[in-house]
Structure 1
Amino acid sequence: MMAATNNNTSRLRWLIRRLSRISPAEVPYRVHGVLRAAAQGRGWFDAARVPPAMADAAYGAPWVALPSERCGQAEVLAAADALIAHGVPVFDTVVPLNDGSPDWNRDPKTGTAIPLSFGLDIDFRHLGEVDIKYLWELNRHVWWVPLAQAWQWSGHPRYLELLGRLLDSWLAACPYARGANWSSPVEHGIRLINWSIVWHLVGGAESPLFAGAAGQQRLARWLDSIYQHIRFASDNYSFHSSSDNHLIGEAAGVVVGAVTWDRWRPVRALAERAERILEEEMVKQFAADGVNLEQALCYHKFSLEFLLAARLSVAAGGRRFSAAFDQRLHAALLFMAAMLDRHGRVAPIGDADDGKVFRLLGDGARTPYEAMLAAGARLLQAPLLDAKLAALDSAATPARSSLLVPAAVPVDSPAQWPQWFAEGGYLVTDHGAAADAPLRLIMDIGPLGYNRIAGHGHADALALLLAAEGEDFLIDPGTYCYNAAPALRHYFRGTSAHNTVQIDGSDQSVYGGSFLWLRDIASRMHTYQDDGVQLDLEASHDGYLRLDDPLRHVRALQLDRSAGTLAVTDRFECQAAHQAALHWHFAAHCRIERDGEAWLVHGRAVSLRVEIDAPGCSITLVQGQEMPPLGWSSPRFYEREASPVLRVAGPVDATTRLRSRFTLIKH
């Protein structure tokens, strides 16, 4: 009883805070949403009845295929066989397939069954110890794709038969609008995209899956659910302050679904609307310099995967999005490519939940980011994308890609790599294609996040990341979890988990909940010069102007590439004294020891000498501290490991200068 009361109190507190961040123009939309959901829950204006197919009903041309080279066949077959033998990996757990009938409505982590009540009435943010992401991850059906690939490549019936059993069991267990799998329309967008890929790989309507009377009944049930998926996504679009990657995903799913299964007349109008939404959101959610304004690199990729799926499916039918869409897509790919290191990885800036919209194996790419870069390089005539792809230390070639793409589209491409992405707010030195870059620096000088709530942004203004000779040293610790561990969720999103300065023990913004910040942060570049050898800049943010004694944090950098040094100076514009904590988070593999007044940070191949001048402050080495959390990093969602942190803490005022100097030492 007490747990239920606390949960209700938490929900009410969250709702009040959430409502405080919406605009007056959003109120009618929210009221309409409540009324719409109530009507659908009673069977009004819903999609329970599927209209008959049009006389000119057709199936769209495939937009995916196996790679032309068979070098990835072993990878695909091994992945499919592992699924059959061991089950589906979902974060830190594995879901048994039960011969094609996993429990689609049971939380894989806690074993909690989610009832088949009306989906939109399920408050998936407040389900006690249940993190709904586990259930949704299983039900996105991304993992169905390697089974379809394995069947197309090998022709072995066991892969196709398993897909048939999975499809039958899912359709039986997840009826229209009932249960957690009908509670968030973006999940329908993801399922539609993966269903489309599977459909094409198994042979479409002519697949042996649909042979005979039983097969035709399976096809009819699946087509009914596809129509209902398209309707559910388009009936419940995430507009206004919710219009982040969810809206892109919902509209992309509608587009892919409508193109793949062009069978129902009402869906054609829904597809036209969805294409308009994608055109608009591409420009709204991606800055002109290509940065996704959610300020989370995982969601940058996530949104790009949605947009690319829609772009390719439409192109397979002989149409295309606008030139402006392709130009912004190109900018987004360039930014992502700039953030890629030589190993095909990106730092987990902002929320990073390992989410992916789709993934075809066998393309030689080591990470989903590398796969996106390969697809973009094939789609767009962009020399910088080709150059970055060729520079990665991978055996794969720029020709790799599992995506069936049309002829390359010309776009306006810069002659050289951008380094300062001014609108999105990221400085990225030495974009990673140069093998001889001794120090590589990334700095966040951007906003907190998108659409006032900054749902996936972290309070990390002016944070730094530093790699030396391709090896990570100063890191972003990542995300770890969303809903199941509130204290750790707050820590990983908060200021103390990033390489910046925390003031008076508070975050740069006011924490409102797992996906909610209550105050915006504005960062600004004051000066910036880079002659290719030495970089000098100064920037600031206003997150602490809300304090009783307003404080502005100003950070200056000097990067000397020839000397292999980075000097960082933090100062504070304020009237009174404050307590500050500067944190330097190092990669988990780093080993730190004292060296007189300095610290030596040993990596695998090189080391850094760290000298800190902080009068009146204590300097401590922290690793794996539980209360309060400090000294953790999350290499993957729902995994964490102890990582060393140098904590510089003490009083500061307007005269204080905190100076940190990092010097590369080659072994």
Structure 2
Amino acid sequence: MKLPSAERLRWLTRRLSRISVVEIPYRVGSFVRTAAQSRGFWDARQPPPLLAKPGFGAAWVWAPALSEADGRDLEADAETLLARGPRIFGLDLDFSAAAPDWNADPRTGHPVPLDFGLSIDFRHMAGDIDIKFLWELNRHLWWVRLAQAYAHTGHSKYLQALGQHLARWLEACPYPLGPNWSSPVEQGIRLINWSLVWHLIGGANSALFEGSQGQALRQNWLCSIYQHMRFASDNYSFHSSGNNHLLGEAAGVFVAACTWDCWPASQALRSSAQAILEREAQKQFSSDGVNWEQATEYHGFALQFLLAAGLAGRAAGHDFSAAYWQRVESAMVFIAAQMDCQGCMPGFGDSDDGEVFRLGYGKGTADQCLLAVGATLFQRGDLQAKAYAVNPAADKAVPWLTRQAPPPTAPDRLSELPRHFPEGGLMLMGSNLHRGDEVRVSFDCGPLGCLGIAGHGHADALSVLLGVAGEALLLDSGTYCYNSAPQWRKFFRGTSAHNTLRVDGEDQSIYGASFLWLQDVNTRIHAFSEDGAVIHASHDGYTRLKDPVHHHRRLSWNAEAGCLTVEDWLECQQTHGVELFWHGTPDGQMQWDGAAQRGTLAALRNQLQLELSGAELQGRVSCGVETDQELQGWASHAFYEKHPAPVLTVAAQLKPGQVLRTVLTVRPR
């Protein structure tokens, strides 16, 4: 096992500072286990023989009868994959001349050596390698599309392509070597997609396994499946690492054990994985349905793990508890409530466009597809009405996962969807929510993140988003990247990239690394009205200052005037310098009138006026600033994409209790 680099040692030192005393034995055990596995001890290089009567679980996915149009869309996607390969983070891969190099960065072509996987420092890779591209290719979501096309058409070309990819992957990626064995959550995701492929191509009796070569391929695949199950379960991400990664690892092991009950250890692996999922469903999702990572994109990602495990377990006769399914349903309701009339979720926290599996085709985001599945699974007419309203094509995945008929739509019940998620920390305000003319205000009253490190959380406490009829006016700046550009990662996670208040030029927490904050930020909701007209909250991120500060923010919505009043003040003993940020859409033009203390944002269809008072102010508008001293005025709507976007920064000196007031008034252009 390689010794860690100086850069990795610095990261490890900061990372260890965020663990508790009870976690230390786990970390020591993990180090010993990893060192032993690197030398071939306690690992799965020699899988046990198959059971005399291996069990193959019932399918949790099947090929429905498709309309002619849906069949064409499915085949068109599959033909593109056959001809060229998948599209990953905006990059079109081209497999027309050669098979993919499974151990090379698809973006640069640079290979990653077949070292012991857990020793690969994927956070700090040389040669401009970004492992996200490699992992995305190797999650094999796109294999499922080929399997769907085969299940629908019966054309052997799709099955042959899958067989070729699988054989080459198994040869190129031996356990436990290389980048595809460097993070156990990747094993979990791959197992879920392999299970989908297995069922769609016919299971153990698939034509892919005919003849001696087919039988050898099946045997090699089953060996790798066992090794995947062992690798994920041997390296479960417990304690401060137990976020969506732990869900993914356990879900992959559970789905695999339900699909392939082929080894003496299968039932024990399944039982332990199910116990983890039962516990983590309650732990990682609040009772009002919000994922504790405080990242709305990861809400759907984590929910996909619970859904895959739940459906696979139910099909195999190993169903989960009512409490588990209640958390899944609550998480679906959260999506329906938070999704705007155009099908977009608020962008709080990290977003890397990740999906666990993808059965839908054509138009439709992952969250839209989840909502459509949830509507049918729980027979909720309100969810069905929301799914159908935002995207009638979002239900493409539904008949592949459930044979239930969708419920009748109940648009009259959309107004009953909750506005307030006080335990999860995300609140809604506005008028005509869930209608085409809605004014939607999203208020982040949640903590920085979970488990001490807040790996996917941003320093965005008390941030406000505002949209009109699906047009975002005030938005979250986004994520852009993870490890590939540290300066951009720090900016997009920082307080200045969000519609909130920064005190004394400091982030709300202390930045430790790309997925590490060094101080907790706790929030408190002091009051909110049931009609959604007023919300008052505060956070303690600045209590670390020499003069401890609590930042308070009160939002008041006046439906008749179409205006939102935002009042900010500091609970402290001394005067502090503050900066208030208002980030506009990239499609908009922002102006500042210093004499009138007024800002104006003109978007494509709507206009927002910002009138400020309560202190002596200095304002400036920035857009696309990129210097050694400052990054500001950028927005990222997709991973690895960023665009200049206007931001109004208002600076002031605030005395204790002095209120800085912003009145935001919406007008059509």
TM over 0.5: yes
The corresponding residue for 1:368 is: 366
The corresponding residue for 1:141 is: 140
The corresponding residue for 2:51 is: 54
The CA distance in 2 between the partners of 1:557 and 1:501, in whole Å, is 14
Note if 1:527 corresponds to 2:488: no
Give the deviation of 1:197 after TM superposition: 0.8
| Cα deviation 1:399-421 (Å, max 9, x = unaligned) | 961432366999xx999322111
Give the deviation of 1:384 after TM superposition: 3.3
Counterpart amino acid of 1:585? Answer: H
The CA distance in 1 between the partners of 2:27 and 2:273, in whole Å, is 20
The CA distance in 1 between the partners of 2:148 and 2:404, in whole Å, is 24
The corresponding residue for 1:63 is: 60
Aligned residue runs from structure 1 range 493-508, under 5 A:
493-508=493-508
Contact 2:477 2:635 in 1 (8 A): yes
The corresponding residue for 1:238 is: 237
The CA distance in 2 between the partners of 1:22 and 1:232, in whole Å, is 23
Note if 1:646 corresponds to 2:648: yes
The corresponding residue for 2:386 is: 388
The CA distance in 2 between the partners of 1:409 and 1:111, in whole Å, is 45
TM-score (normalizing by structure 2): 0.94
Give the deviation of 1:149 after TM superposition: 1.4
The corresponding residue for 2:666 is: 664
The corresponding residue for 1:590 is: 588
| Cα deviation 1:345-367 (Å, max 9, x = unaligned) | 212211100110000134x6611
| Cα deviation 1:202-222 (Å, max 9, x = unaligned) | 112222211211111111111
- Judged with a 3 Å threshold, the aligned counterparts in structure 2 of structure 1 residues 647 and 307 are, in CA distance, closer, same or farther, namely same
- Judged with a 3 Å threshold, the aligned counterparts in structure 2 of structure 1 residues 264 and 415 are, in CA distance, closer, same or farther, namely farther
The corresponding residue for 2:77 is: 79
Contact 1:100 1:165 in 2 (8 A): no
Give the deviation of 1:594 after TM superposition: 5.2
- Judged with a 3 Å threshold, the aligned counterparts in structure 2 of structure 1 residues 100 and 156 are, in CA distance, closer, same or farther, namely farther
Note if 1:32 corresponds to 2:29: yes
Runs (5+) with no aligned partner, structure 1: none
Deviates more, 1:592-601 or 1:297-306: 592-601
Give the deviation of 1:437 after TM superposition: 5.0
Counterpart amino acid of 1:177? Answer: P
- Judged with a 3 Å threshold, the aligned counterparts in structure 2 of structure 1 residues 198 and 527 are, in CA distance, closer, same or farther, namely same
3-state SS of the aligned residue for 2:204?
helix
3-state SS of the aligned residue for 1:176?
coil
Aligned residue runs from structure 1 range 144-543, under 5 A:
144-362=143-361, 366-390=364-388, 392-396=389-393, 401-405=398-402, 416-429=416-429, 434-435=434-435, 438-531=438-531, 535-543=533-541
The CA distance in 2 between the partners of 1:361 and 1:537, in whole Å, is 38
Contact 1:341 1:431 in 2 (8 A): no
3-state SS of the aligned residue for 2:667?
strand
| Cα deviation 1:8-40 (Å, max 9, x = unaligned) | 333222111110110111111111111111111
- Judged with a 3 Å threshold, the aligned counterparts in structure 2 of structure 1 residues 409 and 246 are, in CA distance, closer, same or farther, namely farther
Give the deviation of 1:88 after TM superposition: 2.3
3-state SS of the aligned residue for 2:323?
helix
Counterpart amino acid of 1:60? Answer: G
The CA distance in 1 between the partners of 2:65 and 2:363, in whole Å, is 15
Contact 2:130 2:484 in 1 (8 A): yes
Q: CA RMSD in A?
A: 2.3
- Judged with a 3 Å threshold, the aligned counterparts in structure 2 of structure 1 residues 12 and 600 are, in CA distance, closer, same or farther, namely same
Counterpart amino acid of 1:624? Answer: G
3-state SS of the aligned residue for 1:175?
coil
Give the deviation of 1:508 after TM superposition: 0.2
Counterpart amino acid of 2:649? Answer: R
3-state SS of the aligned residue for 2:512?
strand
| Cα deviation 1:138-187 (Å, max 9, x = unaligned) | 11001111111122223333222211111111001000101110111100
3-state SS of the aligned residue for 1:195?
helix
Counterpart amino acid of 2:320? Answer: F
The corresponding residue for 1:15 is: 12
The CA distance in 2 between the partners of 1:529 and 1:154, in whole Å, is 55
Contact 2:615 2:654 in 1 (8 A): no
The CA distance in 1 between the partners of 2:64 and 2:618, in whole Å, is 57
The corresponding residue for 2:548 is: 550
3-state SS of the aligned residue for 2:269?
helix
- Judged with a 3 Å threshold, the aligned counterparts in structure 2 of structure 1 residues 388 and 438 are, in CA distance, closer, same or farther, namely closer
Contact 2:368 2:394 in 1 (8 A): no
> Identity of paired residues, percent?
49
The CA distance in 2 between the partners of 1:399 and 1:235, in whole Å, is 36
The CA distance in 1 between the partners of 2:58 and 2:423, in whole Å, is 38
3-state SS of the aligned residue for 1:600?
strand
Give the deviation of 1:588 after TM superposition: 1.0
3-state SS of the aligned residue for 1:381?
coil
Counterpart amino acid of 1:263? Answer: C
- Judged with a 3 Å threshold, the aligned counterparts in structure 2 of structure 1 residues 296 and 564 are, in CA distance, closer, same or farther, namely same
3-state SS of the aligned residue for 2:368?
helix
Contact 1:333 1:373 in 2 (8 A): yes
3-state SS of the aligned residue for 1:607?
strand
- Judged with a 3 Å threshold, the aligned counterparts in structure 2 of structure 1 residues 126 and 436 are, in CA distance, closer, same or farther, namely closer
Counterpart amino acid of 1:333? Answer: M
- Judged with a 3 Å threshold, the aligned counterparts in structure 2 of structure 1 residues 618 and 414 are, in CA distance, closer, same or farther, namely closer
Contact 1:100 1:169 in 2 (8 A): no
Deviates more, 1:251-260 or 1:93-102: 93-102
- Judged with a 3 Å threshold, the aligned counterparts in structure 2 of structure 1 residues 302 and 414 are, in CA distance, closer, same or farther, namely same
TM-score (normalizing by structure 1): 0.94
The CA distance in 2 between the partners of 1:520 and 1:461, in whole Å, is 11
- Judged with a 3 Å threshold, the aligned counterparts in structure 2 of structure 1 residues 255 and 365 are, in CA distance, closer, same or farther, namely farther
The CA distance in 1 between the partners of 2:507 and 2:405, in whole Å, is 46
The corresponding residue for 2:410 is: none
Contact 2:386 2:414 in 1 (8 A): no
Contact 1:377 1:398 in 2 (8 A): no
Counterpart amino acid of 2:600? Answer: L
Contact 1:100 1:163 in 2 (8 A): no
3-state SS of the aligned residue for 1:546?
coil
| Cα deviation 1:449-479 (Å, max 9, x = unaligned) | 0100100000000000101122111111110
| Cα deviation 1:536-578 (Å, max 9, x = unaligned) | 2221111001001111111111111222111111111222222
- Judged with a 3 Å threshold, the aligned counterparts in structure 2 of structure 1 residues 127 and 594 are, in CA distance, closer, same or farther, namely closer
The CA distance in 1 between the partners of 2:173 and 2:79, in whole Å, is 26
- Judged with a 3 Å threshold, the aligned counterparts in structure 2 of structure 1 residues 409 and 623 are, in CA distance, closer, same or farther, namely closer
The CA distance in 1 between the partners of 2:97 and 2:206, in whole Å, is 21
The CA distance in 2 between the partners of 1:191 and 1:263, in whole Å, is 18
Counterpart amino acid of 2:78? Answer: A
Aligned with 1:630 (options 622, 629, 632): 632
**How many pairs align?**
657
- Judged with a 3 Å threshold, the aligned counterparts in structure 2 of structure 1 residues 256 and 431 are, in CA distance, closer, same or farther, namely farther
The corresponding residue for 1:600 is: 600
3-state SS of the aligned residue for 1:143?
helix
Runs (5+) with no aligned partner, structure 2: 408-412
The CA distance in 2 between the partners of 1:552 and 1:435, in whole Å, is 36
Give the deviation of 1:241 after TM superposition: 0.5
Counterpart amino acid of 1:298? Answer: E
